């Protein structure tokens, strides 16, 4: 089996590499994994993508790459669409024609954030900015390609507020907390922080069984975020509190993180006010596979799907404690 991972230098790409490095030596049939970054393949170059796919002939394509500069996308629309819409369509066409599996990652930004409650996979897309629009077009392109007839399968995994090995909101908050005594953080935008490590594990739960064999799953869109919900202010408060409890020396304290409204912090690109997404669909599929395997847990996952996804707070605390222990705060 051959697995091609796009986005090796991003948080999710690094999470996949760490996970494969851990898992592959334990498998009887060890797959060949190739990791691709910008230097190996420019995703704004359609010909380069096609050439790589036809040269490597992957059985599984993991597209963990994306143009994610939300504000910059407003002035770099052509590049955003090339990476977020055209590149995934090329990958989808290869997978559909060659019987391969495509894992593609999308975002809460495909919604306008006006819904009350949790978004479902079938809710109408209505992105507000160029970034969200480019990701929505990418979703539509993949779906269209596979609807025209396919020997392969695909999953579009929508997620939000990702953090891992790289730059992210949590690390920014910790850096600012060392420099400033007071922080002002938005309190009226809701979502779910998502660990890149957890997201990679759940992705493999969908695609492989416990023996590492590729399995068939219902193609479509899935929401993939942990349980619970919070705001940027709620996340920042927990991050600072956890870091202080773990021994980090910070100027800011949980009590000095002040809540503000989004209108008080204007940005070039609009953000959805509500990014909460229901994960019932993904949990249902994973629970079914777990039951078929006759196990209470999957070797790719520390949590049993039947018990529900873990809460976001658990993983954020673990992440922050590790940053402190590794002297990265």
Region of 93 on the Ramachandran plot (φ > 0 left; ψ -120 to 50 alpha; else beta): alpha
Helix, strand or coil, per DSSP, at residue 220: strand
Alpha helices, H only, the chain = 11-23, 46-56, 77-81, 87-98, 130-147, 169-179, 196-207, 232-245, 280-293, 312-325
Two tokens at 270? 């609009």
- Residues marked active site are found at 131
Helix, strand or coil, per DSSP, at residue 208: strand
Helix H or strand E segment including 191: strand 190-191
Tell me the C-alpha distance between 124 and 117, whole Å.
14
Helix H or strand E segment including 30: none
């Amino acid at each position: 089996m051959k697995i091609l991972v796009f986005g090796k230098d991003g948080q999710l790409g690094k999470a996949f590499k760490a996970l494969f490095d851990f898992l592959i030596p334990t498998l009887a049939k060890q797959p060949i994994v190739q990791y691709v970054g910008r230097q190996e393949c420019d995703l704004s170059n359609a010909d380069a993508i096609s050439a790589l796919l036809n040269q490597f002939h992957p059985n599984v394509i993991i597209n963990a790459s994306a143009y994610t500069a939300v504000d910059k996308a407003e002035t770099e629309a052509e590049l955003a669409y090339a990476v977020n819409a055209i590149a995934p369509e090329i990958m989808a066409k290869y997978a559909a024609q060659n019987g391969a599996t495509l894992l593609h990652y999308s975002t809460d930004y495909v919604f306008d954030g006006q819904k009350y409650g949790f978004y479902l996979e079938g809710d109408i897309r209505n992105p507000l900015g160029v970034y969200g629009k480019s990701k929505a077009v990418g979703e539509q392109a993949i779906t269209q390609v596979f609807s025209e007839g396919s020997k392969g399968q695909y999953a579009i995994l929508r997620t939000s507020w990702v953090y891992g090995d790289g730059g992210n909101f949590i690390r920014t908050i910790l850096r600012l907390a060392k420099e400033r005594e007071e922080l002002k953080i938005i309190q009226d935008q809701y979502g779910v922080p998502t660990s890149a490590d957890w997201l990679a594990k759940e992705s493999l739960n969908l695609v492989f069984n416990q023996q590492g064999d590729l399995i068939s799953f219902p193609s479509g869109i899935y929401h993939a975020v942990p349980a619970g919900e919070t705001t940027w202010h709620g996340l920042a408060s927990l991050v600072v509190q956890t870091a202080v409890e773990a021994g980090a020396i910070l100027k800011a304290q949980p009590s000095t993180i002040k809540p503000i409204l989004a209108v008080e912090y204007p940005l070039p690109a609009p953000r959805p006010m509500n990014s909460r997404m229901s994960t019932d669909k993904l949990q249902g599929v994973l629970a079914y596979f777990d039951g078929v395997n006759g196990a209470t847990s999957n070797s790719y996952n520390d949590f049993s799907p039947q018990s529900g996804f873990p809460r976001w707070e658990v993983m954020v605390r673990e992440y922050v404690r590790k940053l402190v222990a590794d002297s990265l705060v």
